[in-house]
Amino acid sequence: MEHYEEWDVTIPPLPSRSRLYHLEPIGIGTPYVESLTSYIARLAEMHCVTPRNLIVREILPAQSQRVIPTILAYGRFWSGQALTLNSLTPVTKQWVEVLQSFTLCDTLRFLTMLTWSDVIGVLKLVRRNRAWCPACYEEWRQNHHVVYEPLLWALVRVTTCLKHRQPLVSVCPQCHKSLPFLTQITRPGYCTHCGVWLGDAFLLQAMEAPSNEREGLEHQHWVAQVVGELLAGASHLSEPPRKEQIAAMTSLYIEQYAKGNISALARWVKLSRNALWTYNRGTAVPNFDSLLHLCSALSLTPLEFLTAKTLPNQRIPQFVVDNVPVISPGKWRPVSTDDVQRMQSALEGVLAEERDPPPCLIEAAKSIGYSAATLRRHCPDLSKRIVARYRRQWTEEDYHQMKQELENALKSAERVTLSAVAQQFGWDSRGLRKHFPDLCRAVVTHYHERFDYEQVRRRLQDVLTSDEGTPSVDELARQMGYGRNIFRTNFPDLCKQVSERRSAVLRNHHKERMATLCNEIRQAAFHLHRQGTYPSKRQVSKQLSDPQAMRAREAYEAWRLTLEELGYPTDHLKKYI
């Protein structure tokens, strides 16, 4: 009998099975890392069920008790929780944990912003609806690559495609609706409403790109790049950055860069002083928007800011504390940091566009909605560049023509202001004054001569001596077709007298009117009293020729005193005198 080798019949140790497919997420460690919502949609597709079924039957029941498995809670899920799944909230964390335990993939937190939950604020972080790059979708489909949604596209501040440098699209080109991240039937790459393929270049051509999205393309691309770097970096960190990192970096910048001048640094990075202060104290962390501002102004990337231990090498040689522009209140309202930012990106846009001839600063200012002076004050460098670019266009002939126009203005019977002449060339009067100082002075004098000052004086004196009504100075100026400043700067005393006289007359009028009114109130109250009716405020008002008149303080007092006179208790009534 032959002997055979003995069989080992013990069962080898099997790795534990996962409840759902062990689906590998796409792109971890790259800027194009997948988003959690995209992962859930793909996971559902793998199981041949809709995202709704996967979520309602598997994931939600496994959540902690806080999520009540009722129809209502599910309803709330789609409009509420589903929005935060790519973010860094406690809900995000809960979902990641459940999904990791179901799929046995332990890298799912990199599909969200959870790595940064200690150092980035939750506000203004993720979009409420999907945005996508059609070119990327189409490329993936043609190369038989899995179609998915990168986390990068889910962030509010990322507005262009990192790869194709074109604006992300956020409405379906066919049905013009916006698409939520996760719906009951979401499928990456397709419209949830009409089912159209979102990479369709033909449909996209029909859509007009909004012009304002073309502004600041360079900056938008920078944002996409550094945010991509941040997302890629998340999986390479030994541990997520702590809150103290913000305070440490901020104070390094304040101390070493701005020599302790927190206000100057705040102006430089275009954040409020208070915001910087709270970061420095460790009482707040920046939201994503502010973080990008900070990093853009300091020429470093968010990844560096959130992970570096020392100050990166000096990269902003132009930063000198004393040179930081002072942001002063504008003429009508204070210019906010937002405004300055808007100015900057608009000016950058103006510089970027290739127009022939290039616009002058005034023209640019008009299109932006600020005065040239405001632009000069808040964005001096950009303004100078626009002016310089424009000046290069001037020829001898142009200068000759300018001189001619100034001379014409001097001769013409219709007197015009210097700025009106300047505007014909799209220049400002400062430029004209520089090249033709004497001529400009003459034009200004010529313009001022149009005023017949003697006539103005006579008119003011007439008003003071005659009994004709009591027109205000503004009204007089209007009557004569002049600006009121002509009156007030040239005849301040006369104007003051006219104003005082007018005030006195108006005061008298008021007094007389009130005396009549008080008498009327007294009569009405007595009348009511005689009839046996309590003369309440309402009843008395009804008797007056103007029922609203009772609102005046004097009228109220007259009523109260009359009540007293008639012997009614008035202690509970408010007294004005």
Q: Which residues form the interface with Zn ion (CB under 5 A)?
A: 133, 135-136, 161, 163-164, 172, 174-175, 191, 193-194
Q: How far is the CB of 229 from Zn ion (least distance, A)?
A: 17
What distance in Å separates the CA atoms of residue 424 and residue 131, rounded to the nearest whole number?
Answer: 45
What distance in Å separates the CA atoms of residue 339 and residue 325, rounded to the nearest whole number?
Answer: 14
Q: Is the peptide bond before 535 cis (omega within 30 degrees of 0)?
A: no
Q: How far is the CB of 172 from Zn ion (least distance, A)?
A: 3
**Are 289 and 124 in contact, with CB atoms under 8 Å apart?**
yes
For residues 130 and 270, which CB has a smaller minimum distance to Zn ion in the complex? Answer: 130
Q: How far is the CB of 207 from Zn ion (least distance, A)?
A: 12
Residue 347: both structure tokens together: 């000016």
Going from the C-alpha of 500 to that of each of 466, 477, 478, 485, 522, the distances in angstroms are 15, 17, 19, 18, 33
For residues 152 and 264, which CB has a smaller minimum distance to Zn ion in the complex? Answer: 152
Going from the C-alpha of 469 to that of each of 145, 407, 464, 499, the distances in angstroms are 86, 45, 10, 13
For residues 164 and 530, which CB has a smaller minimum distance to Zn ion in the complex? Answer: 164
Q: Name residues whose C-beta falls within 8 Å of residue 307's C-beta, 6 or more positions apart in sequence.
A: 233, 237, 241, 245
For residues 228 and 359, which CB has a smaller minimum distance to Zn ion in the complex? Answer: 228
Q: Name residues whose C-beta falls within 8 Å of residue 475's C-beta, 6 or more positions apart in sequence.
A: none
For residues 174 and 250, which CB has a smaller minimum distance to Zn ion in the complex? Answer: 174
Q: How far is the CB of 193 from Zn ion (least distance, A)?
A: 4
Q: How far is the CB of 295 from Zn ion (least distance, A)?
A: 23
Q: How far is the CB of 39 from Zn ion (least distance, A)?
A: 20
For residues 43 and 191, which CB has a smaller minimum distance to Zn ion in the complex? Answer: 191
Q: What is the DSSP string of 178-236?
A: --BSS-TT--TTB-TTT--BTT-HHHHHHSPPPGGGGTTHHHHHHHHHHHHHHHHHHTT
Q: How far is the CB of 27 from Zn ion (least distance, A)?
A: 14
Going from the C-alpha of 143 to that of each of 138, 201, 308, the distances in angstroms are 9, 16, 38
Q: How far is the CB of 25 from Zn ion (least distance, A)?
A: 20
For residues 120 and 172, which CB has a smaller minimum distance to Zn ion in the complex? Answer: 172
Q: How far is the CB of 87 from Zn ion (least distance, A)?
A: 23
Strand ranges for 238-377 from DSSP E? none
**Are 476 and 463 in contact, with CB atoms under 8 Å apart?**
yes
In the chain, what are the helix, strand and coil shares in percent, each to the nearest 5?
55, 0, 40
Q: How far is the CB of 443 from Zn ion (least distance, A)?
A: 56
Q: Interior CA angle at 349 toward 348 and 354, to 5°?
A: 110
Q: How far is the CB of 187 from Zn ion (least distance, A)?
A: 12
* Residues belonging to the chain: 577
**Are 364 and 374 in contact, with CB atoms under 8 Å apart?**
no
For residues 31 and 359, which CB has a smaller minimum distance to Zn ion in the complex? Answer: 31
For residues 32 and 487, which CB has a smaller minimum distance to Zn ion in the complex? Answer: 32
For residues 174 and 345, which CB has a smaller minimum distance to Zn ion in the complex? Answer: 174
Q: Which of 111, 122, 114, 78 has its CA nearest to residue 93? A: 114
What distance in Å separates the CA atoms of residue 285 and residue 117, rounded to the nearest whole number?
Answer: 10
What distance in Å separates the CA atoms of residue 419 and residue 216, rounded to the nearest whole number?
Answer: 31
Going from the C-alpha of 114 to that of each of 33, 88, 122, 225, 453, the distances in angstroms are 14, 4, 10, 20, 74
Q: How far is the CB of 31 from Zn ion (least distance, A)?
A: 12
CB-side neighbour CA atoms (13 Å) of 529: 15
For residues 175 and 561, which CB has a smaller minimum distance to Zn ion in the complex? Answer: 175
For residues 134 and 431, which CB has a smaller minimum distance to Zn ion in the complex? Answer: 134
